[in-house]
Every structure is written in structure tokens, then in C-alpha cells.
Structure 1
């Protein structure tokens, strides 16, 4: 039996193409949703862009038929703008205020009541990204669900970039002797190019080895880099060793790192970038950028020139640079960076329209990027450049993103089978015992 899906505004603002995600069913857009979309289309951010895109999509449907009637969609479903079920009579005893959310609920509830009077009435489902709207829908007897079609992964199993493999001790010996091991003879698991393999003794012995899968995804080989430290930074755990390997590999132009606060993502990336830019001369410049998304309430406009305005937002980057350069006096880091001239700390606001060749690019807090924004960034990368995207998908400050649909997770999942990309999920915090405990229990 076909269904009727009533869409909340936030679904359209999250994904303008969500209209086409409901198969051969009826999609209903309440008139109040159009009003909310209209109020957002002047925003100069991702929400505004999506609002304008939705407006153009719906405007295009006018050429097919009348919007208040059923307009056929290419996926077999139909779309209509609902004008005749706005009565607040059914909800006035429950929700006194006629807010936009309650008006959307009223449309869905009135449709559901009408369908129940029919012999073959359809099931009415309210689709919303707003948790409380779904709670209120359930309280008045409405079916409600989250919009999940924009999720890159359906479960908590975001690609980690490595997997454990238990093998006989003689297989470990053969790997150490030959420096490689065919995967077909030791495991039936699926492996991805540049995925790490942590091999352990199947009998529980202390022997172990770390390898990386080749680009054909059929052979695991020894790591190329076996350095004690880079710029004074030494890997403290196996995942940091993996991260250092792919950060130093010149044949991997795209690197993604995910992990909780304090796992060393930023420090390892900066150290690797400084080594390859300053010491080895593989890149002309080290570019570090992060999105301008506040935690908590925004502090408003900031005085000064561009660099002075950016300093509070970029302070976490400068903190790591102060540690790497071992600076102790105020202003000492600024003098070093001015003298070097090859390190640029920038906001992602200014990246559109640029072409960035011969640079080591680090994008911090990439979990706050949308799919569109991350595509914009990756398409700016020029020839002979390397880009590192990193962040914690569990710490998102963007109102329309979550752990499963943000730009960082999107890149991790889409590029996991590509030979030019490497990825590692950092697990153990190394900032301090307190930081690790807070990340785990709070």
C-alpha cells in the first residue's frame, strides 16, 4: 500500500533532493514549509543555498502541473503542496500556540484523519530531522520518522581504516622475512586499498605485525616509514603509527583522520606537513584551514584586520604550532611564521574560487562541513598537492548535520575503495589521562 509522507522544512534544507527519496509514494509539502524555506533563501551559507535550490526545484514542477494537485515524479511517486488541511481544530486543545512546527503537525494530523475515513486509506508519515517534532507527532498519534536517506552509513560502523587479523605464528614469520603476505591465503575478509592490517598470533602469543594493503587490495606489505619521530613527535600507539605512514606517503593525495579529542590528529598532521614542506621541500606551502562554526553562542563581530579576526577561531592551530616550534615567549611564534613565509593559516570561508597546487593542505574540524562544502574544497586541490581532512564525527556544531551525514564521514565512506586515499580512525587519547576519561564518559 502506498503512503503519504509529509515533509518538515529541515528535511528540505538538509537535502533539496529529498523529494525524490520516497519511492512510489505521495510526498506532501505543507504551505507553511514553503514560507519557512522562503525565509531562509537569503542566507549566504549552506542552508540558504539549499533553500534557493528547493525553491527552483519546486518552481520547475509548475511547468508539469498545478502544485496543489498531484505532480508525477521521475521515481514513480507524486508531489503536491498541501493547502486544504491547515485547520488547527484538532490540535488547539493540545498545542495552544500556532507555531510553524505545530502548523505542520496539524497538516499531517488532518491528512491522517481524512485517510482513516477512507476504505483503503493511506498511512500518513511525518518526516522531520527535529527530534521534538517527532516526539509531539507521536504524542498526538501520528507516525513520524527521521530522514535517513542522507546518511552515508546506516550503522555505527564508520570505516576505521584498519582491521585485526589473527594468523599462525609462522605466517607472521613469513611476513617479516618477505615483507609481504598474500591475503587470499590467510583471510576471506574484504580488504580495501591502503587499509592497515594488524596481524596477531592466533594462539595468543606476543608476536604481532602491522602491514598496509597494496593498491590491488590483494597483498599486505610492510610499512614504508619506520622513523622514530618527525619534528619531535613520536607515535604513541599503533593508530598514530598508521596515521604517520599515510601522512608521509607521497602517493596518497587524500588523507582522512577521525578520532576523539586528544588523539593527536592535528599534531601529527602539522608535524608531517612541516617535515614535507620545510625539510624535504616536497610542497611549496603548508595551508591550514578550519570552518568558522562556533561552539555555543557566537561572540559576534571581532575588531581588527582579517588575521586579527581569524586569530580566536584559529587558536587551536596556533597552540599546536607553538608546541612543535617549542616557543615560550609571547609573539615568538608570529615572528617565526612571518620569517618562514611558507605556512598559511586560513578560514575556509575564502577557499571558493581558489586553485591550490603544490601545497600540503590540512582541513581541521571537517565534521562541521556539509557534503557540498567538502566537495567544493576537494575540487580546489591543485596538481601535486596533498589534502588532509580530520575531525571528530561525534562533536558536531552544525545544526543540520550528525555523525552519519556530515562531509567528513561522506569522504571517508566514498573514498575507502580508492587507491589514492588513506584513512585511519584514531582511538586512544594521548593529551592527558583527564582528557581521555572525559572523552569516554561525558
Structure 2
């Protein structure tokens, strides 16, 4: 049965292509939504870009006919721009003021009166309070879920724990590798890690890693001596260090709670490959400029001085790696090396970045479009590492389902040039681990 989906402004600003996500049903865009989108089109951020994209899509559809009468969408379905041809009596009836949200609700109520089955009228909004208000007025409301990926708790981990009989484990240690069938594995993903435990002796274990062709697993011993004074403290860090130092894996994603060692481990591996091994010409470290809590406003000084408060977490880790006590010591070291560059993501569009080790910290605050823009900047011979905690999102329009980091992990896990690791154990301090678990 054909349904009518009424889209709120935040749905279109979140995903301009959402109008094509409702199959053969009718998509209704209230005129007040167009008014709100019009106020956003001059913004220079992601919201402004999406507002302009919505305008272009609607303008193209306008060539097919009058939007207020309805036009066919590409593929299937219809689009109608609803001008609220009926009065606002429904608002007055329920004692509601003529706010933009209430005007959208009024259209839903009017369409429900005209429909044969009121359950076929659905309001789609990412505004939880509007869904609550709609529920009070007996309007069926839903969140926009089409672009969601796996919830963080169910996101791809990059490794799995399996049981293996003693004879098979002996062959793995002897031959150093096994075909998937020999190891009792039906399917796998490129660069997926396995923690095998002996069925007859659970204290005996082996680490293995699937190759990029997903034909066999190789015995993995891991790095135990450490890099740049940083030794892996748990098995996830050992496996992540393998991904971070492999030239043939140009895309690495890392997720984990605060204090699990993502940034420090990545910086250590980046410094090692750049300064010691000379595999890359430069180490580029970037973070999105998204504040926690209230923004501190404009900052004085030149670009580097303005960025310093935002980039301070990176400098903290570099001070630890270089074992410096004063900020001026680190600045002198970085000035002398000239191969380490720390900057915000604001200036990355239009760049081509070849032969560099690129670290993107706090990638959970990036949108799908932003993360695509960043990865498409990567040139020949470069490696990019995206890391973050999807549980700690400061971006007002993202959540653990829709952020760019989770999106990349789920979309790229089948690619033979990518690797992923989910950190489980915090190593910063006992207090940090307890806070990450309980707060």
C-alpha cells in the first residue's frame, strides 16, 4: 500500500538524497521546510552544502512538472511540495502556536483527515521532541534510518576469537600459515585477525591474520620490542601496530574508548616510518575543529596560534614521545625536523597529499561527505589512519550510527587495502578506564 512520508527539514539537511529513499511511496515536502532550507543555503559548512544540494535536486525535478501537483521521482515514487492548502484550524484546535514545527504537524494532521487510512501518513524527522509531540497528536512519526550503519557495540571489530584443536594449532606453528579450510574457517575479511585457543588447553593460544586475498591465514607474532619507546600493552595494540606499519595497507581505522592508546600508537608508528624508515616524506596529523561544550569563540594570533588549543591533544602525545618537559622544547624539535605537520581539517579540500603518513584524530565528528572528501585527498604512496570513539560525538548532527568513522569501517571492511581494529582495554590509567566504563 502506498504511503506518504512527510520530511522534516533536518532530514533533508542530513541527507539531500533522502527523497529517493522511500521506494514507490510518496514523499511530501512542506513549504515551510523549503523556507527553513533557504535560510541555510549561505552557510559555508556541511549544512550549507546540503541545503544547496537540496535546492539543485528540486530545481531539476521542477522540469518534470509542477512540484505542488506532484512529479515522478527517478526510479520510483512521487514527490509533492505541500503548500498547506488547508487552514491552520488543526493547530488552534490543539492549542498550538504557528511555529515551523507545528506547521509541519498541521500538514500531517490535514493529510490524515483526507487519507482513507491515517496510518499511511508518516512524519519523518530526526528531531526527537517533534516525534514526541507528533505521538501526542496521534501522528505516526519515525526517525530517518536509511543511512545508518551498525551500532557501535555491533560494529566490525577487526578480530575474532576462535577455538582450534591441538593438531591444527601444531600445524599452524610448524607451517606458519594455513588455508581457510584447514583452519576450519568458512569466510573471512582481508587483514582480519584471529585469536585461536586450544580446545584441550585453553591457556595455549595462537595469533593469525588473514591475507588480502582471503585464501589463507598467516601466523602472527606481532611486535614486542616496541616502536619509539611505545610497547603494545595488550593483544589489540599488537595487532593494530601491524596494521599501522604495513605499507600495503593504506587505509587503517581504529576505534576504542578514551585512553585505549589509539593516538599515541598511531603517532609512534607514523614517526617510525617517517623518521627512521623514510617510507614517507611527512607525517600529517589533523583533527576536526568541533568544540566540547560551549565554543570559546574567536582566538587571537596567526593560524598556528589559533589552532594550538584545538591541536593540544596531539601535542600532548608528541611531548610524551619526545620526552620533553617544556612546550618550547617540542616546538624546537618539530621546527628542526620539518617533517611533522599538525593542522585542522578545515584546509584539506582541494589538496593532493602523496607520500605522507596521515593521521585523522577524532574522526567520529566527521560526516560521511567530509570523510569521503578527506580520503579522496590521499595521493600515491600515502597511508591514512582514521581513529576515534563513536561513543564520544560532539557534532550536533551526528550519532554513533551516522558518523563518518563508522561509515568508513562498514563500507571499507571488504577492501583488500584496508584494515581495522577495535580497542577494548584502556591503558591511560585505572581511573580513565573506570570513567570510560561507568560514566
Asked if the contact 1:223/1:245 (under 8 Å) is kept, the reply is no
348-357 or 180-189: bigger deviation? 180-189
Asked if the contact 1:287/1:345 (under 8 Å) is kept, the reply is yes
Give the RMSD, CA atoms, in angstroms.
Answer: 1.5
Q: Which residue of 2 aligns with 1:105?
A: 105
2:272 matched to 1:309? Answer: no
List alignment gaps of at least 5 residues for structure 1.
Answer: none
Q: Which residue of 2 aligns with 1:58?
A: 58
Please give the secondary structure, in 2, of the residue aligned with 1:63: helix
Evaluate the alpha carbon distance shift between residue 85 and residue 95 of structure 1 in structure 2; reply closer, same or farther with a 3 A threshold: farther
Evaluate the alpha carbon distance shift between residue 154 and residue 239 of structure 1 in structure 2; reply closer, same or farther with a 3 A threshold: closer
Evaluate the alpha carbon distance shift between residue 190 and residue 326 of structure 1 in structure 2; reply closer, same or farther with a 3 A threshold: same
2:334 matched to 1:375? Answer: no
Instruction: Detail structure 1 runs of 4+ shifted over 4 Å in the superposition.
Output: none
Asked if the contact 1:85/1:111 (under 8 Å) is kept, the reply is no
Q: Deviations over 1:349-370 (max 9, x none)?
A: 0111111111100000111111
Q: What's the offset of the Cα at 1:411?
A: 1.1
Evaluate the alpha carbon distance shift between residue 66 and residue 363 of structure 1 in structure 2; reply closer, same or farther with a 3 A threshold: same
CA distance in structure 1 between the partners assigned to 2:9 and 2:363 by the alignment: 25
Evaluate the alpha carbon distance shift between residue 155 and residue 289 of structure 1 in structure 2; reply closer, same or farther with a 3 A threshold: closer
Q: What's the offset of the Cα at 1:100?
A: 1.3
Asked if the contact 2:152/2:390 (under 8 Å) is kept, the reply is no
List alignment gaps of at least 5 residues for structure 2.
Answer: none
CA distance in structure 2 between the partners assigned to 1:303 and 1:103 by the alignment: 43
1:178 to 152, 161, 175: 175
Asked if the contact 1:224/1:245 (under 8 Å) is kept, the reply is no
CA distance in structure 2 between the partners assigned to 1:371 and 1:99 by the alignment: 31
CA distance in structure 1 between the partners assigned to 2:66 and 2:15 by the alignment: 23
Q: Which residue of 1 aligns with 2:233?
A: 236
Evaluate the alpha carbon distance shift between residue 94 and residue 438 of structure 1 in structure 2; reply closer, same or farther with a 3 A threshold: farther
Q: Which residue of 2 aligns with 1:200?
A: 197
Q: Which residue of 2 aligns with 1:324?
A: 321
Q: What's the offset of the Cα at 1:184?
A: 1.5
Asked if the contact 1:179/1:221 (under 8 Å) is kept, the reply is yes
Evaluate the alpha carbon distance shift between residue 319 and residue 154 of structure 1 in structure 2; reply closer, same or farther with a 3 A threshold: closer
2:220 matched to 1:223? Answer: yes
How many pairs align? 439
2:51 matched to 1:23? Answer: no
Evaluate the alpha carbon distance shift between residue 189 and residue 401 of structure 1 in structure 2; reply closer, same or farther with a 3 A threshold: farther
CA distance in structure 2 between the partners assigned to 1:319 and 1:95 by the alignment: 55
2:101 matched to 1:83? Answer: no
CA distance in structure 2 between the partners assigned to 1:318 and 1:354 by the alignment: 24
CA distance in structure 2 between the partners assigned to 1:305 and 1:179 by the alignment: 55
Q: Deviations over 1:387-441 (max 9, x none)?
A: 1011111111112211122111111111111111111011111111111111111
2:253 to 245, 251, 256: 256
Asked if the contact 1:247/1:255 (under 8 Å) is kept, the reply is yes
Q: Which residue of 2 aligns with 1:5?
A: 5
Q: What's the offset of the Cα at 1:251?
A: 0.8
Q: TM-score, normalised by structure 2?
A: 0.97
69-78 or 16-25: bigger deviation? 69-78
Asked if the contact 2:370/2:404 (under 8 Å) is kept, the reply is yes
2:408 matched to 1:430? Answer: no
